[in-house]
Amino acid sequence: MTATATSPERVSFETHPQQYHHWRLSTDGDLARLTMAVNPSCGLRPGYELKLNSYDLGVDIELADAIQRLRFEHPEVRCVVIDGALDKVFCAGANIQMLRTSGHGWKVNFCKFTNETRLYLEDASQHSGLKSLAACNGATAGGGYELALACDEILLVDDSNSTVSLPEVPLLAVLPGTGGLTRVVDKRMVRRDHADVFSTLVEGIKGQRAIDWKLVDDIAPLSQFEARTKEMARELANSVEDKSDRIGVALPPLEVTHEEGAMRYRYVTVTWDESTRQGELQIQLPNAGNPADATAAHAEGAQWWLFDMFRQIDDALLNMRINLPLINVMSVRVLGNPQVALDSDAFLAAHQDHWFVTEVACFMKRVLKRYDLTAKSFFALADEGTAFAGTWLEFGLGADRFYVLDEEDTPVQLGVSSMNGGAYPMSNDLSRLESRFLGDLDQAGRVLAKQGLIAAADALGLGLSTESMDLIDWEDEIRVHLEERASYSPDSLTGMEANLRFAGPETLETKIFGRLTAWQNWIFQRPNAVGASGALQCYGTPSRPEFDYNRT
Amino acid sequence: MTATATSPERVSFETHPQQYHHWRLSTDGDLARLTMAVNPSCGLRPGYELKLNSYDLGVDIELADAIQRLRFEHPEVRCVVIDGALDKVFCAGANIQMLRTSGHGWKVNFCKFTNETRLYLEDASQHSGLKSLAACNGATAGGGYELALACDEILLVDDSNSTVSLPEVPLLAVLPGTGGLTRVVDKRMVRRDHADVFSTLVEGIKGQRAIDWKLVDDIAPLSQFEARTKEMARELANSVEDKSDRIGVALPPLEVTHEEGAMRYRYVTVTWDESTRQGELQIQLPNAGNPADATAAHAEGAQWWLFDMFRQIDDALLNMRINLPLINVMSVRVLGNPQVALDSDAFLAAHQDHWFVTEVACFMKRVLKRYDLTAKSFFALADEGTAFAGTWLEFGLGADRFYVLDEEDTPVQLGVSSMNGGAYPMSNDLSRLESRFLGDLDQAGRVLAKQGLIAAADALGLGLSTESMDLIDWEDEIRVHLEERASYSPDSLTGMEANLRFAGPETLETKIFGRLTAWQNWIFQRPNAVGASGALQCYGTPSRPEFDYNRT
Q: pLDDT digit string (tens) for B341-369?
A: 999 999 999 999 999 999 999 999 999 99
Percent of chain B clearing pLDDT 70 (strictly above): 99
Nearest residue to A491 via CA among B267, B530, B466, B413: B530
Instruction: Please judge whether B186 and A504 are an interchain contact, meaning their C-beta atoms are less than 8 angstroms apart.
Output: yes
Compute the nearest-CA separation of A376 from chain B (Å).
Answer: 7
Nearest residue to A52 via CA among A86, A83, A27: A86
Work out the average pLDDT over B516-528.
Answer: 96
Tens of pLDDT, residues B47-102 = 999 999 999 999 999 999 999 999 999 999 999 999 999 999 999 999 999 999 99
Domain range list for chain A: 17-238, 257-493
Please report the pLDDT score of residue A9 as a whole number.
80
Cβ of A21 under 8 Å from any chain B Cβ? no
8-state DSSP, A89: E
Cα separation, B300 vs B306, in Å, equals 10
Instruction: Please judge whether A503 and B186 are an interchain contact, meaning their C-beta atoms are less than 8 angstroms apart.
Output: yes
Shortest CA distance from B486: residue in chain A:
A549
Give the E-state strand segments of B423-497 in sequence order.
Answer: 452-455, 467-469
- Per the model's pLDDT, the better-predicted residue between A9 and B108 turns out to be B108
Give me the DSSP letters along A389-438: BGGGGHHHHTSSEEEEE-BTTB--EEEE-GGGGTSS--TTSS-HHHHHTT
Shortest CA distance from B545: residue in chain A:
A489
SS (H, E, C) A326-342: CCCEEEEEEECCHHHHH
Residue B299 backbone dihedrals phi, psi, to 5 degrees: -65, -40
Please report the pLDDT score of residue B454 as a whole number.
97
Tens of pLDDT, residues B398-414 = 999 999 999 998 889 99
Number of H helices, E strands in chain A: 22, 21
- State yes or no: pLDDT of B2 exceeds 80: no
Please report the pLDDT score of residue B257 as a whole number.
97
Compute the nearest-CA separation of B5 from chain A (Å).
Answer: 24
Shortest CA distance from B112: residue in chain A:
A552
Tell me the CA distances in angstroms from B281 to B345, B365, B380, one per residue in order.
21, 18, 9
Q: Note which residues in 431-460 of chain A have CB less than 8 A from chain B.
A: 435-440
Residues of A within 8 A of B328 (CB-CB) are 549, 551
Instruction: Please judge whether A522 and B521 are an interchain contact, meaning their C-beta atoms are less than 8 angstroms apart.
Output: yes
Dihedral angle, C-alpha B225, B231, B234, B235, nearest 10 °: -120
Instruction: Please judge whether A496 and B169 are an interchain contact, meaning their C-beta atoms are less than 8 angstroms apart.
Output: yes
Cα separation, B38 vs B62, in Å, equals 11
- State yes or no: pLDDT of B415 exceeds 50: yes
Cβ of B52 under 8 Å from any chain A Cβ? no
Judge residue B383's burial from the number of C-beta atoms within 10 Å of its C-beta, 0-12 exposed, 13-18 middle, 19 or more buried: buried
Cβ of B186 under 8 Å from any chain A Cβ? yes
Please report the pLDDT score of residue A165 as a whole number.
98
Which residues make Cβ contacts (< 8 Å) with residue B212, sequence separation at least 6?
none
**Hey, do B17-238 and B257-493 end up sharing a CATH topology, with the first three levels equal?**
yes
Cβ of A190 under 8 Å from any chain B Cβ? yes
Residue B96, helix vs strand vs coil: helix
Instruction: Please judge whether B189 and A466 are an interchain contact, meaning their C-beta atoms are less than 8 angstroms apart.
Output: no
Instruction: Please judge whether B438 and A197 are an interchain contact, meaning their C-beta atoms are less than 8 angstroms apart.
Output: no
Please report the pLDDT score of residue B288 as a whole number.
86
For residue A84, give the H/E element and its range. strand A79-84
Is B119 in contact with B150 (CB distance < 8 Å)? Answer: yes
Is B463 in contact with A191 (CB distance < 8 Å)? Answer: yes
Residue B155, helix vs strand vs coil: strand
Instruction: Please judge whether B197 and A505 are an interchain contact, meaning their C-beta atoms are less than 8 angstroms apart.
Output: no
Nearest residue to A331 via CA among A389, A406, A259, A277: A277
- State yes or no: pLDDT of B7 exceeds 80: no
Work out the average pLDDT over B317-328.
Answer: 97
Which residues make Cβ contacts (< 8 Å) with residue A162, sequence separation at least 6?
A88, A90, A136, A137, A138, A139, A140, A156, A206
Strand partners, A502: none
8-state DSSP, A41: T
Band of residue B5 on the pLDDT scale cut at 50, 70, 90 = very low
Is A77 in contact with A31 (CB distance < 8 Å)? Answer: yes
Is B240 in contact with B129 (CB distance < 8 Å)? Answer: yes
Cβ of A279 under 8 Å from any chain B Cβ? no
Give the pLDDT means over successive 10-residue stretches in chain A (552 positions): 47 97 98 98 96 98 98 98 97 96 96 98 98 98 98 97 97 96 97 98 97 98 98 98 98 97 98 98 96 98 98 98 97 98 98 98 98 98 98 98 95 97 97 96 96 96 97 96 97 97 95 96 96 94 94 93
Which residues make Cβ contacts (< 8 Å) with residue A142, sequence separation at least 6?
A92, A93, A94, A165, A166, A167, A168, A176, A180
Cβ of B496 under 8 Å from any chain A Cβ? yes
Cα separation, A169 vs A142, in Å, equals 10
The gap between the terminal CA atoms of chain A, to the nearest Å, is 40
Give the E-state strand segments of B67-204 in sequence order.
Answer: 79-84, 89-91, 93-94, 131-136, 139-141, 153-157, 164-165
Tens of pLDDT, residues B460-507 = 999 999 999 999 999 999 999 999 999 999 999 999 999 999 999 999
Cα separation, B492 vs A551, in Å, equals 10
For residue A536, give the H/E element and its range. helix A535-538
Please report the pLDDT score of residue A25 as a whole number.
98
Dihedral angle, C-alpha A354, A360, A362, A365, nearest 10 °: -150
Q: CATH fold of A17-238, please?
A: 2-enoyl-CoA Hydratase; Chain A, domain 1 (3.90.226)
- Strands in A131-136's sheet, in edge-to-edge order, are A23-28, A31-36, A79-84, A131-136, A153-157, A218-220
Compute the nearest-CA separation of B97 from chain A (Å).
Answer: 19
For residue A380, give the H/E element and its range. strand A377-382
Instruction: Please judge whether B511 and A506 are an interchain contact, meaning their C-beta atoms are less than 8 angstroms apart.
Output: yes
Dihedral angle, C-alpha A283, A376, B502, B482, nearest 10 °: 140
Longest dimension (CA), chain A: 78
Question: Cα-atom radius of gyration of chain B, to the nearest Å?
Answer: 24
Nearest-by-Cβ selection for A525 from B194, B492, B526: B526
What's the angle, vertex CA A223, arms to CA A220 and CA A224, rounded to 5? 45
* DSSP H stretches of helix in B177-327: 180-182, 192-198, 207-212, 222-238, 294-300, 305-323
Compute the nearest-CA separation of A498 from chain B (Å).
Answer: 8
Compute the nearest-CA separation of A204 from chain B (Å).
Answer: 15
Work out the average pLDDT over B10-33.
Answer: 97
Residues of B within 8 A of A402 (CB-CB) are 193
Q: CATH fold of B257-493, please?
A: 2-enoyl-CoA Hydratase; Chain A, domain 1 (3.90.226)
Nearest-by-Cβ selection for A492 from B173, B495, B497: B173
Is B77 in contact with B70 (CB distance < 8 Å)? Answer: yes
Nearest residue to A528 via CA among A93, A169, A177, A106: A169
Compute the nearest-CA separation of A337 from chain B (Å).
Answer: 25
Give pTM, 2 decimals: 0.96
Cβ of A522 under 8 Å from any chain B Cβ? yes
Which residues make Cβ contacts (< 8 Å) with residue A15, sequence separation at least 6?
A1, A61, A62, A65
Compute the nearest-CA separation of A139 from chain B (Å).
Answer: 22
Shortest CA distance from B490: residue in chain A:
A551
Tell me the CA distances in angstroms from B407 to A41, B331, B382, one per residue in order.
56, 20, 11
Compute the half-sphere exposure of residue A145: CA atoms within 13 Å on the CB side of its CA: 31
Number of H helices, E strands in chain B: 22, 21
Tens of pLDDT, residues B275-293 = 999 999 999 999 989 999 9
Cβ of A18 under 8 Å from any chain B Cβ? no
Compute the nearest-CA separation of B489 from chain A (Å).
Answer: 6
Band of residue B9 on the pLDDT scale cut at 50, 70, 90 = confident
Residues of B within 8 A of A276 (CB-CB) are none
Cβ of A63 under 8 Å from any chain B Cβ? no
Cβ of B154 under 8 Å from any chain A Cβ? no
Nearest-by-Cβ selection for B181 from A169, A197, A499: A499
- State yes or no: pLDDT of B8 exceeds 60: no
Please report the pLDDT score of residue A347 as a whole number.
98
Compute the nearest-CA separation of B480 from chain A (Å).
Answer: 13
